[in-house]
Structure 1
Amino acid sequence: MNDEDETSLFAQEVAGIKPLKKSEVYLGKKGPQVDFSARQKAALIAKEADRNHLSQDYVEKVEPNDVLEYKRSGVQDGVFKRLRQGKYGIEARLDLHRHTVAQAREQVFQFVDDCMRNDIRVAIIVHGKGDRTPDPDFRAMIKSHINKWLQELETVMAFHSAQRHHGGLGAVYVLFKKTEKARLDDWEKHQKR
Structure 2
Amino acid sequence: MDQDDELFLQEMQGVERIQIREKVTLRKTPLVGDAEARRQAALDETHALKRDPNHLSTTDVVRIGPHDVVGFKRPGIQDGVFRKLRLGKYDIEARLDLHRRTIEQARQEVFRFVRDCLAADIRSVLILPGKGDRSIGDPAVLKSYLAHWLEDLDDVQGYHTAQPHHGGSGAFYVLLRKSDRKKQLAREQFSKGRI
**Structure 2 residue identity aligned to 1:155:** D
- Counterpart in the other structure of 1:154: 154
- Counterpart in the other structure of 1:116: 118
State how far apart, in whole Å, the 1-side matches of 2:81 and 2:190 are.
19
Residue among 59, 62, 77 paired with 1:60: 62
**Structure 2 residue identity aligned to 1:156:** V
- Report deviation, 1:192: 2.9
State how far apart, in whole Å, the 2-side matches of 1:181 and 1:96 are.
30
TM-score of the superposed pair, with normalisation by structure 2: 0.71
State how far apart, in whole Å, the 2-side matches of 1:182 and 1:60 are.
34
State how far apart, in whole Å, the 2-side matches of 1:156 and 1:81 are.
16
Residue among 67, 75, 89 paired with 1:73: 75
Coordinate RMSD, CA, aligned: 1.5
* Contiguous gaps of at least 5 residues in structure 1: 1-46
**Structure 2 residue identity aligned to 1:115:** C
- Return structure 1 stretches of 4+ with deviation > 4 angstroms: none
State how far apart, in whole Å, the 1-side matches of 2:189 and 2:179 are.
15
1:61 aligned counterpart, secondary structure = coil
1:70 aligned counterpart, secondary structure = strand
**Structure 1 residue identity aligned to 2:52:** R
Q: Deviations over 1:21-75 (max 9, x none)?
A: xxxxxxxxxxxxxxxxxxxxxxxxxx99x81121122211111011120011101
- Counterpart in the other structure of 2:101: 99
- Counterpart in the other structure of 1:22: none
- Report deviation, 1:181: 0.9
- Counterpart in the other structure of 2:190: 190
- Counterpart in the other structure of 1:172: 172
- Counterpart in the other structure of 2:52: 51
State how far apart, in whole Å, the 1-side matches of 2:159 and 2:168 are.
13
State how far apart, in whole Å, the 2-side matches of 1:83 and 1:51 are.
27
Number of residue pairs aligned between Structure 1 and Structure 2: 144
**Percent identity of equivalent pairs:** 49
- Report deviation, 1:190: 2.3
2:158 aligned counterpart, secondary structure = strand
- Report deviation, 1:186: 1.1
State how far apart, in whole Å, the 2-side matches of 1:185 and 1:153 are.
24
State how far apart, in whole Å, the 2-side matches of 1:181 and 1:55 are.
31
**Structure 1 residue identity aligned to 2:145:** H
State how far apart, in whole Å, the 1-side matches of 2:127 and 2:101 are.
13
State how far apart, in whole Å, the 2-side matches of 1:180 and 1:140 are.
36
- Report deviation, 1:133: 1.0
Q: Deviations over 1:2-24 (max 9, x none)?
A: xxxxxxxxxxxxxxxxxxxxxxx
**Structure 1 residue identity aligned to 2:182:** A
1:123 aligned counterpart, secondary structure = strand
Residue among 129, 132, 135 paired with 2:131: 129
Q: Deviations over 1:111-159 (max 9, x none)?
A: 0101111111110001100000132xx2100000011000000010110
